[in-house]
Each structure stands twice: as C-alpha cells, then as structure tokens.
Amino acid sequence: MNRLREVLLVPAGNMFALTLDAFRVFFRRPWPVREFLHVSWFIVSVSIVPVILVSIAFGATIALQVGNVSRQLGAQSQTGAAMVLAVVREAAPIATALLISGAGGSAMTADLGSRRIRDEIAAMEVLAVDPIHRLIVPRLLAATVVAVLLNGFVSVAGVAGGYVFNVLVQGGTPGAYIASFSLLAQPADLYVALMKAGVFGLLVAMVAAYFGMFCKAGPKGVGEAVNRAVVVSFLLIFVANFVMTAIYFALVPAKFA
C-alpha cells in the first residue's frame, strides 16, 4: 500500500496540484507571450514532419484493413466513410498526441529538468519570478494549441493516404471513395476529434511539466524524468481516449447511411 501511494497517488496528486496552480495564475500579467511562441514553434518544428509521415502510414494501414473488410461484406463503396471515421475520430488525435509527447514533451521535460538541476528555477523564485507562470503556463497552452492545429494536418494526410492506397493498390473507385465521406460522418465527429487533440496535448504538457519540475538531481535524474514522462503520457492518452470515446458514443447518436 505504501508503495502504491509512493508510485501512483503522490505523483498524481502533485501533478493535479501543479496544473491547478497553472490555471490559477494563467491570466496574471505580464503574460509570457514570447515563451509561448518559442515553445509552440519548437513543438511544431520537431513534430510536423513525423506527424504527417506517420499519418500517411496510418491512413494506408487503415485503408488496407477497411478495404478488405468492405470487400468481404460487399460494401466497397463505403470504404471512404469508414476511413473518415477511423482517421478523423480516432487515429488522428492519438497519432498527433503520441508524436508530440515523444518529440516535444520529452524535450520540455529535459528543459525543465535541466533548469531545476542548474538551480535556475530556484534563482527565479529568489527574484520573485513565479516559475509556474513563467515556464509552465505557456507550455500548457502551447502543447494544447499545437495539438489541435496539427490534428487537422494529420486528418487530411491520413485520409489522402488512404485514398491513394485504396485507389491505386486495392482498385477502389475514386468517386465512390470521396462521395461516401458524408454517409457516416457528422460534424460531431470533427468536434470530438479536436477536443481529443486539445485534451491530449494538455495531458502531455502536464506530465512533462511535472516530471521536469520534480526531477531528481543530476543528469541521471533528468534522463529518468524524460523516460517516465513519455511512458506516463502514453498511458494517460490511451485512457483518456477510451473515456472520451465512451462518453461520445453515450451522448451522440450514430449516423446511419
């Protein structure tokens, strides 16, 4: 029980408290706009190319599976509709969040951890500069905004990759693929995808900020913090995706062709 409390309950409580502190000082002036822009550009620069490449692979893989199932059921004309649902509602937010966590979140943890072991954060506190307002708040907002924006790129690239694979490899009909987009999809699918991306980005930043701010001393402590941040981010993303998907299916009625 003590081990469970040390490993799970205490870090979860500290992470929640750190996030509440960030929300509490979110609108305090002067707002760190420069830090927000710097972090946002960094996350975009290290994530956008891998995100698009992975989304194309996601689209091709989903097209392979959906195309085979559709052919077995005699519903090849519905491949585009199933692709839109699978990519936009599920694959795009998860792929975006995982790559932002692996590329941007790990870098945020390393940056904050390095500041901690070099006593830069302690120096900020001595100078009456709130490190949560100066460092954590812009990172939370940057990860959330970038995740929502990149989710659009991933959705387009994934659907396009599925289109190319379905038409060129599986012999699908281009017109049927495009015409079936709106058969099963509805605006609520896009809204929940954007909401998922924002929540996942916020979770990634929360975990990265916590493990960076509370890392152990020395380079080894920073390395362990980065590893833990990535693993915990992945777990939280999948758990949050399941919860949000379950709530979505409970509240939004499905659309039938």
Q: Return the number of other C-beta atoms located less than 10 Å from residue 130's C-beta.
A: 14
SS3 assignment, position 160 = helix
User: Looking at residue 90, what is its pLDDT?
Assistant: 82
Cβ pair 115, 223 in contact under 8 A: no
Segments forming the whole domain that contains residue 10: 2-251
How confident is residue 237, by pLDDT bands cut at 50, 70 and 90? Answer: very high
- Higher pLDDT among residues 176 and 3, named by residue: 176
Task: Say how many domains are in the chain.
Answer: 1
Q: Residue 134 carries which side chain, given as an amino acid letter?
A: R
Q: Does residue 257 sit within a domain?
A: no
Within a domain: residue 31?
Answer: yes
Residue 30 domain flag:
yes
Is pLDDT above 90 for 200? Answer: yes
pLDDT tier at 25, thresholds 50, 70, 90 = confident
Q: Which segment of 5-19, 101-115, 138-152, 181-195 scores lowest on mean pLDDT?
A: 5-19
Q: What is the pLDDT of residue 176?
A: 67
Among candidate residues 11, 35, 1, the one with its CA nearest the CA of residue 228? 11
Q: Is residue 137 part of a domain?
A: yes
What was the pLDDT predicted at 78? 63
Examine residue 17 and state whether it is found in any structural domain, yes or no. Answer: yes
- CA atoms of 193 and 255, how far apart (whole Å): 16
Q: 117-149 pLDDT, tens per residue? A: 888 888 888 888 888 888 899 999 999 999 999
235, part of any domain: yes
In a domain, 164, yes or no: yes
pTM of the model: 0.87
Residue 93: asked if its preceding bond is cis (omega within 30°), the reply is: no
CB 18 within 8 A of CB 137: no
Q: How far apart, in whole angstroms, are the C-alpha atoms of residue 126 and residue 14?
A: 22
pLDDT tens-digit readout, 44-58? 888 888 887 887 777
**pLDDT at residue 198 in the model:** 93
Q: What is the torsional sign of CA 58, 60, 62, 64?
A: negative
The pLDDT > 90 percentage for the chain reads 15
Residue 1 burial (10 A CB sphere; 0-12, 13-18, 19+): exposed
In a domain, 256, yes or no: no
249 HSE (CA, 13 A, CB side): 8
For the chain, the C-alpha Rg in angstroms (whole number) is 21
Q: How confident is the model at residue 116 (pLDDT cuts 50, 70, 90)?
A: confident
Report residue 162 as tokens.
């599925």
Six-digit token string for 60: 């091709």
